């Protein structure tokens, strides 16, 4: 037996992990002292760790395992494709059947005239492609100075230099800097930043920052705006209903390109194929990854509208591409994932069954003394933890202290629920059943109770001074 199927005891694995494996977004010191949790199996919405615990995955991995774990069909498709053609590239006028079939399928599913797909290996890579695509578009149109991309504070667009620069997260910018030509405006986060305004007023105010920024820079300098229909990694920030229509109006008025980063919201997460459909957004480009393959293979891409594809093609060769653009195994697996999403009516399940069932229970969490607002779009949700709901107060402790403590209680109760600052977020596999939702909610309530008791004991239920 090899080391993966017949593995060492947990403590020894953890020691090797800490010694040799550099983890993304992890405090390495914590790893050395506490050891990482080792996940060994997955089936449906359930994970098993190396100690045999059964964990309900409230995050679908990293927002990606839309069809759930352990689907044999995808393994079979991968094995077949590896035997037939394990690899070939799509550079220099070559192609292969899986890339062709997947591009055609995505074009069929995507709304409007989003009919062209440029493949990448991940969401970050796809957003790097988008930076180059929109700048190239304006260059071919004879306006090379139109190259600034406007994005949002606390947005997340990946972790490459391009993706990290588009994202609006200061800690990421602090580690390695940013590329040039990216500007950030405020986020539509009413609970945290809306003050005395109504949600509707605040949504308009934040959208109009786009217009102010365009006018400040000069429209002849601005190439595009990028945003997630619902900010995911930023804390599942659901924008007020007034926000996207106003962003759309402004993009239309000034003729700038609109990029919807659908890496999380694509492929059923919001109860439609794409978040743009849920929010009435008409993007020129969509970024996709995660749910495209339900995480069974690394693959991402940009879905591009007719006009942008036509202009870029007019410019001749586009000097851009990845060795693994449209990788045949990843493409074949993604195609099988889309077949399952469609034929098993998983998006209808989200819209008609799982969302309404979870919504009632999720919103009822606001009865808990620690919980302020509860938001749920499709199957992506968040709750704001607060010491004083009426004032939408923050905690006096350093931001994230309470969220981290609550996440630790969830982990101890075999529920994976992440924290972003003092918000708790979920994004379970789309196939979650009502019975599993009951378990998720029970474990969430227990964790909130335990967290509340420990915060109380430590005198941490204190609001920050205004």
Ligand X SMILES: *Cc1c(COP(=O)(O)O)cnc(C)c1O
Collapse the DSSP code of 314 into the 3-class scheme (helix H, G, I; strand E, B; otherwise coil) and give the result: helix
156 binds ligand X (CB under 6 A): yes
- Residue 237 bridge partners (DSSP): 231
Cβ neighbours for 88, distance < 8 A, ≥ 6 positions apart: 94, 96, 328
Tell me whether strands 54-57 and 182-185 are parallel, antiparallel or unpaired.
unpaired
Out of 57, 128, 246, 261, which residue is the one contacting ligand X (CB under 6 A)? 261
Residues 349-378 binding ligand X (CB under 6 A) are none
CB of 263 to ligand X, least distance (A): 4
User: Which residue lies nearer to ligand X by CB, 228 or 246?
Assistant: 228
263 binds ligand X (CB under 6 A): yes
User: Which residue lies nearer to ligand X by CB, 124 or 397?
Assistant: 124
User: Which residue lies nearer to ligand X by CB, 228 or 422?
Assistant: 228
* DSSP-assigned letter for residue 162: H
Region of 168-176, 215-223, 261-269, 366-374 interacting with ligand X (CB under 6 A)? 261-269
Out of 148, 207, 233, 335, which residue is the one contacting ligand X (CB under 6 A)? 233
Calpha distance 206→358 (Å, rounded): 29
Residues 190-229 binding ligand X (CB under 6 A) are 228
Cβ neighbours for 335, distance < 8 A, ≥ 6 positions apart: 77, 98, 101, 102, 105
Binding residues for ligand X, total number by CB under 6 A: 16
157 binds ligand X (CB under 6 A): yes
Out of 81, 124, 272, 406, which residue is the one contacting ligand X (CB under 6 A)? 124
User: Which residue lies nearer to ligand X by CB, 299 or 312?
Assistant: 299
CB of 158 to ligand X, least distance (A): 3
CB of 458 to ligand X, least distance (A): 33
Whether 401 and 460 have beta carbons less than 8 Å apart is answered as yes
User: Which residue lies nearer to ligand X by CB, 167 or 192?
Assistant: 167
CB of 179 to ligand X, least distance (A): 16
User: Which residue lies nearer to ligand X by CB, 370 or 379?
Assistant: 379
Whether 200 and 127 have beta carbons less than 8 Å apart is answered as no
Out of 14, 81, 122, 382, which residue is the one contacting ligand X (CB under 6 A)? 122
Burial class (CB in 10 A: 0-12, 13-18, 19+), 28: exposed
Comparing CA positions, the residue from 347, 332, 329, 340 lying closest to residue 266 is 347
User: Which residue lies nearer to ligand X by CB, 81 or 154?
Assistant: 154
CB of 155 to ligand X, least distance (A): 8
Give me the DSSP letters along 198-249: -HHHHHHHHHHHHHHHHHHH-GGGEEEEEE-SSBSTTT-BPPPTTHHHHHHH
User: Which residue lies nearer to ligand X by CB, 77 or 264?
Assistant: 264
99 binds ligand X (CB under 6 A): no
Burial 56-71 (b: 16+ CB within 10 A, else e): bbbbbbbbbbbbbbeb
Main-chain phi, psi angles of 290, to 5 degrees: 25, -100
Collapse the DSSP code of 380 into the 3-class scheme (helix H, G, I; strand E, B; otherwise coil) and give the result: strand
CB of 369 to ligand X, least distance (A): 31
User: Which residue lies nearer to ligand X by CB, 14 or 287?
Assistant: 287
269 binds ligand X (CB under 6 A): no
154: left (phi over 0), alpha (psi -120 to 50) or beta: left
Quick one: the chain helix, strand, coil %, rounded to 5? Answer: 45, 15, 40
Region of 151-159, 184-192, 208-216, 244-252 interacting with ligand X (CB under 6 A)? 151-159
Q: How close are the terminal C-alpha atoms of the chain, in Å? A: 61
Whether 204 and 242 have beta carbons less than 8 Å apart is answered as yes
Main-chain phi, psi angles of 288, to 5 degrees: -130, 155
Region of 257-265, 278-286, 346-354, 404-412 interacting with ligand X (CB under 6 A)? 257-265
User: Which residue lies nearer to ligand X by CB, 157 or 407?
Assistant: 157
User: Which residue lies nearer to ligand X by CB, 162 or 328?
Assistant: 162
232 binds ligand X (CB under 6 A): yes
234 binds ligand X (CB under 6 A): no
Residues 298-327 binding ligand X (CB under 6 A) are 300
Give the residue closest to ligand X by C-beta.
Answer: 123
Whether 321 and 309 have beta carbons less than 8 Å apart is answered as no
264 binds ligand X (CB under 6 A): yes
Q: Which positions touch ligand X (CB under 6 A)?
A: 122-124, 127, 156-158, 163, 228, 232-233, 261, 263-264, 289, 300
């Amino acid at each position: 037996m090899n080391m993966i199927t017949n593995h060492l005891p947990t403590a020894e694995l953890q020691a090797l992990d800490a010694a040799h494996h550099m983890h993304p977004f992890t405090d390495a010191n914590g790893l050395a002292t506490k050891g990482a949790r080792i996940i060994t199996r997955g089936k449906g919405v359930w994970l098993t760790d190396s100690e045999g615990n059964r964990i309900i995955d409230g995050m679908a991995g990293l927002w990606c395992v839309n069809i759930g774990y352990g689907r044999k069909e995808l393994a079979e498709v991968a094995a077949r494709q590896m035997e037939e053609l394990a690899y070939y590239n799509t550079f220099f006028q070559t192609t292969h059947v899986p890339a062709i079939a997947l591009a055609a399928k995505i074009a069929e599913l995507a709304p409007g005239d989003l009919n062209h797909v440029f493949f990448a290996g991940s969401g970050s890579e796809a957003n790097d492609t988008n930076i180059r695509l929109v700048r190239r578009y304006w260059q071919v149109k004879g306006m090379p100075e139109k190259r600034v991309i406007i994005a949002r504070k606390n947005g997340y667009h990946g972790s490459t230099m391009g993706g990290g620069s588009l994202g609006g997260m200061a800690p990421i910018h602090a580690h390695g800097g940013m590329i040039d030509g990216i500007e950030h405006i405020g986020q539509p986060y009413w609970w945290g930043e809306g003050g005395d305004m109504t949600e509707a007023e605040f949504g308009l105010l934040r959208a109009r920052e786009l217009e102010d920024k365009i006018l400040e820079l000069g429209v002849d300098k601005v190439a595009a705006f990028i945003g997630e229909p619902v900010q995911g990694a930023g804390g599942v920030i659901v924008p007020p209903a007034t926000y996207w229509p106003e962003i759309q109006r402004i993009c239309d008025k000034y003729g700038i390109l609109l990029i919807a980063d659908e890496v999380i919201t694509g492929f059923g997460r919001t109860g439609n194929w794409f978040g743009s459909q849920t929010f009435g957004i008409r993007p020129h480009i969509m970024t996709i990854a995660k749910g495209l393959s339900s995480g069974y293979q690394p693959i991402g891409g940009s879905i591009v509208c007719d006009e942008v594809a036509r202009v870029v093609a007019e410019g001749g060769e586009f000097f851009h591409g990845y060795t693994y653009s449209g990788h045949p195994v990843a493409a074949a697996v993604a195609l099988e994932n889309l077949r399952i999403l469609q034929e098993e009516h998983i998006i209808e399940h989200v819209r008609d069954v799982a969302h309404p069932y979870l919504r009632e229970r999720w919103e009822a969490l606001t009865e808990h003394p620690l919980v302020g607002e509860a938001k749920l779009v499709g199957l992506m949700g968040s709750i704001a933890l607060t010491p004083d709901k009426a004032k939408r107060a923050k905690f006096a402790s350093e931001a994230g202290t309470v969220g981290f403590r609550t996440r630790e209680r969830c982990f101890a109760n075999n529920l994976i629920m992440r924290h972003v600052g003092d918000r708790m977020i979920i994004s379970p596999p789309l196939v979650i059943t009502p019975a599993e939702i009951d378990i998720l909610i029970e474990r969430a309530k227990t964790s909130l109770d335990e967290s509340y008791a420990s915060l109380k004991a430590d005198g941490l239920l204190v609001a920050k001074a205004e």
